[in-house]
Structure 1
Amino acid sequence: MPTLDRGLLGDAYYSDHHWELLTEMVDLDNRMAGQSGEHEAAELVKDAFERHGLREAEITDFEIPGWWRGFSSLAVRADREHTFDADYQSIALPGTPAGEVTAEVVDVGYGRPADFANAELEGKIVAASSATPEDYGRWIHRGEKYGAAAEGGAAAFVFRNHIEGALPPTGSIGKEDGPGPIPAIGVSKEVGDRLVRYCEDGDVEATLNVDCRNEPTTSPNIEAVVGPDTEEEVLVTGHVDAHDIAEGANDNGVGTVLSAEVGRLLAQIEDELETKVRCLVFGSEEVGLFGAYHWVETHPDSQVKAILNADGAGYSRNMDVYTHRFDPIGDAFEETAAELGVPIDVNDEISPHSDHWPFVQRGIPGAQVRSKSEGSGRGWGHTHGDTLDKLDKRDLRELSVAFAAATAKVAEADREIEHKSVAEIREATIEEGYEEGMRNAGSWPFEA
């Protein structure tokens, strides 16, 4: 069994490689999918793979529906007209079409399915919170709320943040073949609270205005391998793109540099690895998981023993792993926790919103590797506040050690991880209550 000996652990706990790469990435300023900064970041990652001793480093470009930000504003007529057009008040959601809508505003609170069912949406500007009630049982994705508004006949959508600090949230609402059906913006909690207050006082009319550009472009996947030349391989993944309004330090700069650092550590015990490990950083996660879908659709399912996808890690060193009911993956992380004496929470829940999902929906074993921190929802993610100063390199060091050790265990030849049928994954996704929301978002991948 491959092990991280004390010398390698010492190297990992003194490492600055991940922090240096992360710093270079955030200093690009804009890694929006399909734009120049994402391609520059891809070159940085490829160079890091090569410096760390990984083999066959390459970048593969693929086409996506690109989106470029213009301006956005929300003018609300209550006691007088209030215009919110500063970037700390309102921002367009990527994938929105351009357009101007004047209509009555309806707020649907948390944006649960019942909230939409109980509201009159036709022709209205529909607002919904970014929060999900703690007792709801699952997270309600932004795309689900946008899709439900559009399905209900709304003319436009406002996504209001529940995190204070003048931080309007971003996040894609585009479709596989281009922009979504109705204009959409995110507004800060402070603007959102005012909007809710105005709605509580009576009928409120507003004008939502978005200018943007939608046209095809290309995005990169970056990959390299370490370990024996086996037909089957373990994928260690993150995504290189980020939203254009912030540095993208945590989401998902951390996932990218963890993939590179796991590769660096495993390269030092390459002769002990029993299955090939492919470090694979996807492009265009934030706008539709395009990089992950491109890769899985151009490679045989049998090539992948498991995908271990780092997304949502970084704000603490306490690892949290979603195994999608692939128990042997959970076993590997639990064994790692016991051997290293570190906390790793393992649960078998479905998490259908990151780059592991295009694999898992086909029955390929996969896990999302995150870290636990205080607060609700994304926290600083998808806002101007996703910056390097929120992170601590000590957390990256501990996450890298645990991630590398668990990857080596998943790569053990005698650790069998059976693929599931699509029907099994479909049933598990339904059991956990995701079908209605994913259908609203246009992301339901299963037929009966």
Structure 2
Amino acid sequence: MAPDDIDATLGAAWHDDSPWDLLTRLCAFDDRLGGGPGERHAADLVADELDSLSLDPRIEPFGMQRWTRGHTAFSVHPSDERSREFEAVALPYSPAADLRAPLVDVGHGTPAEVEAAAVEGAIAVASTDSPAGERHTHRMEKLGHAVAAGARGFVFHNHVRGQLPPTGALQFGHEAPIPGVGVSHETGAWLREYAAEDEEASLRVDATTDDGESRNVVAKLGPESDAEVLVLAHYDSHDVGEGALDNGCGVAVALAATRLLTEFDLDSQVQVAAVGCEELGLLGSAALADSLDLDRVKAVVNVDGAGRFRNLRALTHTSEAMTAVAERVAEESGQPIATAEGPHPYSDHWPFLRRGIPALQLHSRTPGGGGEWDRGFTHTRADTRDKVDPRNLRTHAMLTALLVRDLSTTDPDRVDTDALRETLREAGAEPGMRAAEVWPPDWD
């Protein structure tokens, strides 16, 4: 396709309401937690969208452990007054539990802070935040450190004000060894004070984990070729909100980009996949990676976080070639695309990156700072459609399509997995990844 034709296609995208319409329909489901009916309906919706583009989508089921939420109760028992009950949200893969134990504040939940606290037999209270200037400590890592120290329960308190208990899976794909709940920033302030006074708390979680099924939706476009670009976005979300930002926006951007790509002349084949169960442990992308001939996949574009806020951000996960692609498209389009090279294992690029496939994760950052891992409203009940600007969906869809088009003409070098492993080690990620059970066993 000539550049003038590309400009005409992109120009028409400014008037395209399909990303907003798709987001609206996704957010209308009761919830899209992995393995549930809402997630299945979302998969059917995405398949219909791909079918409308004449892409002949296929649905690929995979088995998983389905977690179902019941009632959660959390209260503190001050020694000199009546018990106080606080709002708490059970974290996916929390086991059912009914326990009473002392509260212990473990700060940010880093290994050093957990080791310094008397956690054995207690309920560990950890912030969602990480120490300033240090590597981000993921929720599953904090849990793993607490479990190793003998904690009986885990409380994850939001570092952002606003009475919003956070959620997020405790383990990748299976039930955790101890119960865990999320509470608000304001509740966390009380709990730290009660912990300093050696007070006890009661924690009850009603939940079940059983065998279930999720599915990936996959389609191909472009010419037959020896190598292909994989574009993926997860369509599942947590059940406490609408999942608009995480990752309804990403699905809407990926599908709108696919619509544009059907109008472009591509130099190699593109495979588009909407995957399930990212929030429960990258289960859909792992199943997809196991099903593909990875020797044919020359690059992965993971649309997780795009469409939320104004400026697109490309996480390039140590690949200089992917950084060059992002910088080239930013210059040619006249649109800002910030880049960051540091790798992490907590999104759907990981099952591919750990096998050496170069990856772009398309993201966007909360306005006004807050850092790479500032979730804003995501993983809370405030993750709703009203937070989304349709202009961001359109702009990021166009940039995503241009990035994929560029990748279709290039052959980026594979990621050296030995070097990737050492980069993560040098960043101090290994202990936390081991605690979270995501350090690849073949790296030992």
- Listed one character per residue, the Cα deviations across residues 226-253 of structure 1 (whole Å, up to 9, x for unaligned) are 1111131111111010001110001011
Alignment of 1:134-283 (within 5 A): 134-136=132-134, 138-176=135-173, 178-200=174-196, 202-269=197-264, 272-283=265-276
Give how far 1:191 is off.
1.1
Q: Residue 378 of structure 1 aligns to a residue in which SS?
A: coil
Partners of 1:75 and 1:81 within 8 A in 2: no
Q: Aligned letter for 1:70? A: G
Q: Provide runs of 4+ in structure 1 moved above 4 Å.
A: 1-4
Partners of 2:110 and 2:145 within 8 A in 1: no
Partners of 2:278 and 2:348 within 8 A in 1: yes
Q: Matches of 1:2 and 1:367 in 2, distance apart?
A: 26
Q: Aligned letter for 2:421? A: R
1:91 aligns with 89
Give how far 1:2 is off.
6.8
Give how far 1:175 is off.
4.3
1:340 aligns with 333
1:386 aligns with 383
Partners of 1:311 and 1:354 within 8 A in 2: yes
Partners of 2:366 and 2:376 within 8 A in 1: no
TM-score, length of structure 1 as denominator length = 0.95
Give how far 1:312 is off.
1.8
1:117 aligns with 115
Structure 2 runs not aligned, ≥5 long: none
Q: Matches of 1:17 and 1:145 in 2, distance apart?
A: 40
Partners of 1:250 and 1:391 within 8 A in 2: yes
Q: Matches of 2:321 and 2:177 in 1, distance apart?
A: 41
Tell me the C-alpha RMSD between the 2 structures: 1.4
Partners of 2:109 and 2:127 within 8 A in 1: yes
Give how far 1:5 is off.
2.2
2:69 aligns with 69
Partners of 1:238 and 1:309 within 8 A in 2: yes
2:300 aligns with 307
Distance change in 2, residues 1:171/1:67 (3 Å): same
Structure 1 runs not aligned, ≥5 long: none
Q: Matches of 1:140 and 1:312 in 2, distance apart?
A: 19
Alignment of 1:380-419 (within 5 A): 380-412=377-409, 415-419=410-414
Q: Residue 23 of structure 1 aligns to a residue in which SS?
A: helix
Q: Matches of 2:318 and 2:336 in 1, distance apart?
A: 20
Give how far 1:372 is off.
1.9
Q: Matches of 1:101 and 1:183 in 2, distance apart?
A: 9
- Listed one character per residue, the Cα deviations across residues 161-206 of structure 1 (whole Å, up to 9, x for unaligned) are 1112221000001344x30000111111111111112223x11101
Partners of 1:73 and 1:83 within 8 A in 2: no
1:369 to 362, 369, 383: 362
Give how far 1:305 is off.
0.8
The number of residues matched between the two structures is 437
Q: Residue 24 of structure 1 aligns to a residue in which SS?
A: helix
Q: Aligned letter for 2:278? A: E
1:23 aligns with 24
Q: Aligned letter for 1:192? A: G
- Listed one character per residue, the Cα deviations across residues 388-424 of structure 1 (whole Å, up to 9, x for unaligned) are 0001000111111111111100110xx2212234322
1:5 aligns with 6
Give how far 1:299 is off.
1.6
2:58 aligns with 58
Q: Aligned letter for 1:325? A: T
Give how far 1:113 is off.
1.7
Partners of 2:105 and 2:126 within 8 A in 1: yes
Q: Matches of 2:203 and 2:422 in 1, distance apart?
A: 40
Q: Matches of 2:96 and 2:258 in 1, distance apart?
A: 42
Q: Aligned letter for 1:69? A: R
Q: Matches of 1:231 and 1:260 in 2, distance apart?
A: 24
1:316 aligns with 309
Q: Matches of 1:311 and 1:109 in 2, distance apart?
A: 28
Partners of 1:122 and 1:153 within 8 A in 2: yes
Give how far 1:56 is off.
3.0
Q: Residue 396 of structure 1 aligns to a residue in which SS?
A: helix
Q: Matches of 1:203 and 1:2 in 2, distance apart?
A: 70
Partners of 1:84 and 1:90 within 8 A in 2: no
Q: Aligned letter for 1:221? A: N
TM-score, length of structure 2 as denominator length = 0.96
Distance change in 2, residues 1:435/1:391 (3 Å): same
Q: Matches of 1:64 and 1:126 in 2, distance apart?
A: 28
2:344 to 340, 351, 371: 351
Q: Matches of 2:248 and 2:133 in 1, distance apart?
A: 31
Q: Aligned letter for 1:349? A: G
